[in-house]
Amino acid sequence: MNLLEVVCSRPVVGLNDKLLSVLNILGRKGTPYRVVVLGEDFRVKGVISGRRILEVLLGRRGEALKTRKGLRGVLEEPISLFLDEARNVFPENVTLQTVLQYMAENSLGYIIVVNENHVFKGVVDEAAILGKLLNKTFGIKVKDVMSYPALTINPEASLLEASNLMVDSRVRRLLVTRDDVLVGILTITDVLHHVLVREREMESELYDVETIFKAKVDEVMNTNIISIYLEKDVGEAIDKIIGNDISCLPVSVEGKLSGVVCRIDLVSGIVKIKGVPEVVRMMGLEAKNE
Amino acid sequence: MSSVCVRKISDYEPIVGRDEIKTIVSLAERVKGAKIIHVNSTAYGGGVAEILKSLIPLARSVGLDARWQVLQGSKEFFFTTKSIHNALQGDNSIELTSEMRDVYLKVNELNAKTLDLDGDVVMIHDPQPLPLIDYRRDGKWVWRCHIDTSQPNKHVWGFIKPFVEKYDALVFSREAYIPNDIRGIKVFVRFPSIDPLSDKNKPLHQTEILKILERFDVNPDKPIIGQVARFDPWKNPLGVIDTYRKVKEKISEVQLVLIGSFAHDDPEGLEWYKKTVRYAENLKDVYILTNMDGVCDVEVNGFQRAFTVALQLSIREGFGLTVSEALWKGVPVVATRVGGIPLQVIDGVTGFLINTVEEAAEKVVLLVKRGWLARELGRNGVEHVKRNFLVTKDLKDYLRLHIELVGK
């Protein structure tokens, strides 16, 4: 089977582009959580994620450079100083089965695909896979694949506290609860978006991150909550996630929050439970299987 | 300082390309002249020494003042640190007595007086030298943890954690290994990698390989399966022998080569070596070899290149870099699904991932009987390692870490 059937194009940046350009991409709502970094020859040089940018904004990355140049100076530095080496690079001639197995085995959200000359061809990520699994019933309940307990935060907490919690816990989102009732979701993308918007409003030359991070979580969180019941089929979760272009769903039982189901939970869970051949069949790509 | 062979970054250009070398040189400019001190507990044996043997000369060749210091300790000290190692990897039966804690701290205190710890960056590898942080004078200190600390023994972690929290940054081999109660410290995830030009991985002529096999009476005309790993319960040498027994029932001419080294920081090594030898006592065509038999890096290289199939049947792994070493030599690997192994062994592409001895034997038989399949998986393995696990990537990661901490 040709892997290219699920390879999708995603935003890319150049190795010598400024870090600021990544903030401008990842702070836009509806964009992926990470971008691939390419050299001038279009070969893959690495990956940079929203978390890395948030860490820089919080002063938890680029410490020495920040001391010398200030945050603005750090954001003017090339991406090459901050990227993560790409370690999930596959040639375009591997099969979809292989990639699905690898992503599920290692709980990876994406792999990068290159041609025989190591030139970038695209990305296979959870969204691309789930997008091929719409309107299906799997016979697997949400509770069988969800993550729990979900990390929560109070709406009155500061954005600084929430951001540090996400960085320390290595998560991309927090569920916002008041008296155990879910009132919103805060993602790293929401935080980066807030930084961008506030900077534009203030027309500030220097990034006044401290002021920006004083905002309360409920000023930034997304209150349009789309959740799912834990006894529901994972097919419904996929339809909701892809249909609304969101990365996760809070999972509830009798009105109480019991966990969260994310895109990678769905891909890993379905592959592990149904097996790769069955998932490929459900994706409607088995006819071309070699 | 331990002796290291001299390789230059430009030596790697034919393998990774000019562009990659240019990137490394440009990153290194930002930290040129920085004094980087690595401290670990053995100059030979195990993955950390392997990594440092390559990294230190490479870092020096791009203008860093990189140095390697080795912690000295008593038998009691290394017994204690091995217990700590096992506990951090999840052995909940271990308890540290007050004597063990005392020897651990005392040896570190004594080493602090003799080691050069005045670096711009001091990289402490694994738990053995961890308490040296209490003797920090200056510079940025980084703890590089090479083991799986995702589910540590709580009592031992409780003793270790206060030291960990004093570091400026922590580096783990996988995201899943980061203990979930670490807060407020910079945490990096960095995969280890192999050096394609080291004695252990450099290309060898067929005649050199034959000579090595001859020296140890291994028949080059019969299939060879083997595992390269310390003699250690986590590496499961007895499971390898069980697998061999089952393979031998189907393929009578198969041979087994088990290679391990006695690192001076591993007091369990000799005991487990003896246990392994006893376990294989009545089996034919089994070769259990160590550095004491003269099996050093070049010999390991030769044996790995002669393997029909490599095994890595570990119960727990930090990353399992010997898997990439075998793959780099075009040898398919049959391995367990632990640590970083599933990142290296792509099931059905570079080898096979298995759950039981029976499955391992079945896959080994498949590969021994079907040479074309073994060759295809072997070719895929070389490419996979080349794309993802070569030392030049590791060097870039280290340079970025240094830039983060002391860069210009």
What is the pLDDT averaged over residues B153-168? Answer: 96
Q: Are residues A55 and A161 located together in one domain of the fold? A: no
Q: Are residues A102 and A170 located together in one domain of the fold? A: no
- A67-89 confidence digits (pLDDT tens): 888 888 888 899 999 999 988 99
What is the pLDDT averaged over residues B33-47? Answer: 88
- Residue B189: its chain A contacts at CB < 8 A? 84
Instruction: Answer yes or no: do A105 and B342 touch at CB < 8 A.
Output: yes
Query: Shortest Cα distance from A51 to chain B (angstroms)?
Result: 12
Judge contact between A278 and A141, C-beta under 8 A: no
Residue B120 has what pLDDT? 96
- Residue A82: its chain B contacts at CB < 8 A? 400
- Amino acid B297 reads D
Query: Shortest Cα distance from A106 to chain B (angstroms)?
Result: 7
Q: Are residues A196 and A241 located together in one domain of the fold? A: yes
Q: Are residues A63 and A183 located together in one domain of the fold? A: no
- Taking CA–CA distances from A15, the nearest residue in chain B reads B23
Average of per-residue pLDDT values in chain B: 93
**What is the number of CB-based contacts under 8 A between chain A and chain B?**
81
**Is residue A247 in some structural domain?**
yes
Mutate to test the interface with B, among A85, A92, A113 (most CBs of B within 10 A): A85
Q: Are residues A125 and A165 located together in one domain of the fold? A: no
Residue A203 has what pLDDT? 56
Q: How far apart are CA B61 and CA B24, in angstroms?
A: 11
pLDDT surpasses 80 at B162 = yes
What is the pLDDT averaged over residues B105-127? Answer: 97
> What is the domain count for chain A?
2
More confident site: A214 or B267? A214
DSSP for chain A, written as a single string: --GGGT-B---EEETTSBHHHHHHHHTSTTS-SEEEEE-TTSBEEEEEEHHHHHHHHTTSSSHHHHHHHHHHHHHTSBGGGTPBPP--EEETTS-HHHHHHHHHHTT-SEEEEE-TT-BEEEEEEHHHHHTTSTT---S-BGGGT-B-SPPEE-TTSBHHHHHHHHHHHT-SEEEEEETTEEEEEEEHHHHHHHHHHHHHHHT-SS--HHHHTTSBHHHHSB-----EETTSBHHHHHHHHHHTT-SEEEEEETTEEEEEEEHHHHHHHHHHHH-HHHHHHHTT-GGG--
Give me the percent of chain A exceeding a pLDDT of 70. Answer: 94
What is the pLDDT averaged over residues A208-219? Answer: 85
Pair of tokens at residue A76:
């003017």
Residue A202 has what pLDDT? 58
- B172-220 confidence digits (pLDDT tens): 988 888 998 888 899 999 888 999 999 999 999 999 999 999 999 999 9
- The CATH number covering residue A106 comes to 3.10.580.10
**Is residue A288 in some structural domain?**
no
Instruction: Answer yes or no: do B403 and A81 touch at CB < 8 A.
Output: yes
Domain B9-193+390-406, what fold?
Rossmann fold (3.40.50)
Q: How far apart are CA A196 and CA A27, in angstroms?
A: 7
Q: Are residues A60 and A165 located together in one domain of the fold? A: no
Residue A209 has what pLDDT? 72
Residue A159 has what pLDDT? 95
Residue A75 has what pLDDT? 87
Residue A185 has what pLDDT? 95
Instruction: Answer yes or no: do A164 and B182 touch at CB < 8 A.
Output: no
Q: Which of A44-48, A65-69, B110-114 has the lowest mean pLDDT?
A: A65-69
- B223-233 confidence digits (pLDDT tens): 999 999 989 88
Range of the domain at A205: 142-273
**Is residue A11 in some structural domain?**
yes
- Phi first, then psi, for residue A83 (nearest 5°) are -70, 165
- B310-346 confidence digits (pLDDT tens): 999 999 888 889 999 999 999 999 999 998 999 999 9
- Residue A83: its chain B contacts at CB < 8 A? 400
Parallel, antiparallel or unpaired: strands A110-114 and A120-125: antiparallel
- Closest partner residue to B387 (CB to CB) among A41, A89, A168 is A89
Instruction: Answer yes or no: do B337 and A105 touch at CB < 8 A.
Output: yes
- Residue A62: its chain B contacts at CB < 8 A? 404
The complex's ipTM works out to 0.86
Q: Are residues A86 and A205 located together in one domain of the fold? A: no
Instruction: Answer yes or no: do B400 and A45 touch at CB < 8 A.
Output: no
Instruction: Answer yes or no: do A114 and B387 touch at CB < 8 A.
Output: yes
Residue B92 — pLDDT band, cuts 50, 70, 90? very high
Q: Are residues A120 and A147 located together in one domain of the fold? A: no
Coil, strand or helix at B346: coil
Closest CA to B216 of B271, B322, B296, B323: B296
pLDDT surpasses 60 at A287 = no
Instruction: Answer yes or no: do A168 and B184 touch at CB < 8 A.
Output: yes
- Residue A78: its chain B contacts at CB < 8 A? none
Mutate to test the interface with A, among B323, B400, B408 (most CBs of A within 10 A): B400
Residue A290 has what pLDDT? 39
- Closest partner residue to A68 (CB to CB) among B191, B342, B408 is B408
Residues of B with CB under 8 A from a CB of A: 19, 23, 26-27, 30, 175-176, 178, 180, 182-184, 186-187, 189, 191, 337, 342-343, 346-349, 353, 383, 387-389, 393, 396-397, 400, 403-408
Instruction: Answer yes or no: do A94 and B349 touch at CB < 8 A.
Output: yes
- Closest partner residue to B348 (CB to CB) among A64, A90, A98 is A98
**Is residue A279 in some structural domain?**
no
- Taking CA–CA distances from A161, the nearest residue in chain B reads B184
Residue A28 has what pLDDT? 86
Instruction: Answer yes or no: do B388 and A105 touch at CB < 8 A.
Output: no
Closest CA to A211 of A223, A198, A222: A198
Instruction: Answer yes or no: do B186 and A60 touch at CB < 8 A.
Output: yes
* Residues B15-22: contacts with CB under 8 Å, at least 24 apart: B15/B196, B15/B197, B15/B386, B15/B390, B16/B390, B16/B392, B19/A39, B19/A41, B19/A43, B20/B392, B21/B392
Residue B354 — pLDDT band, cuts 50, 70, 90? very high
**Is residue A87 in some structural domain?**
yes
- Taking CA–CA distances from B120, the nearest residue in chain A reads A64
pLDDT surpasses 50 at B1 = no
What is the pLDDT averaged over residues B7-13? Answer: 92
Torsion of CA B396, B401, B405, B407, to 10 degrees: 10
Query: Shortest Cα distance from B102 to chain A (angstroms)?
Result: 32
What is the pLDDT averaged over residues A171-187? Answer: 93
**Is residue A181 in some structural domain?**
yes
> Which CATH architecture is the domain B206-388 placed in?
3-Layer(aba) Sandwich (3.40)
Q: Are residues A92 and A25 located together in one domain of the fold? A: yes
Residues of A with CB under 8 A from a CB of B: 15, 39, 41, 43, 45, 55, 60-65, 68, 80-91, 94, 98, 101-102, 105-107, 114, 118, 164, 168-170
Q: Are residues A146 and A203 located together in one domain of the fold? A: yes
Residues of chain B with CATH 3.40.50.2000: 9-193+390-406, 206-388
Query: Shortest Cα distance from B297 to chain A (angstroms)?
Result: 26
Torsion of CA B70, B76, B77, B80, to 10 degrees: 130
- A54-67 confidence digits (pLDDT tens): 999 888 888 888 88
Q: Are residues A40 and A161 located together in one domain of the fold? A: no
- B12-30 confidence digits (pLDDT tens): 999 999 989 999 999 999 9
**Is residue A136 in some structural domain?**
no
Q: Are residues A71 and A115 located together in one domain of the fold? A: yes
Instruction: Answer yes or no: do B407 and A81 touch at CB < 8 A.
Output: yes
Query: Shortest Cα distance from A81 to chain B (angstroms)?
Result: 6
Residue A239 — pLDDT band, cuts 50, 70, 90? very high
**Is residue A254 in some structural domain?**
yes
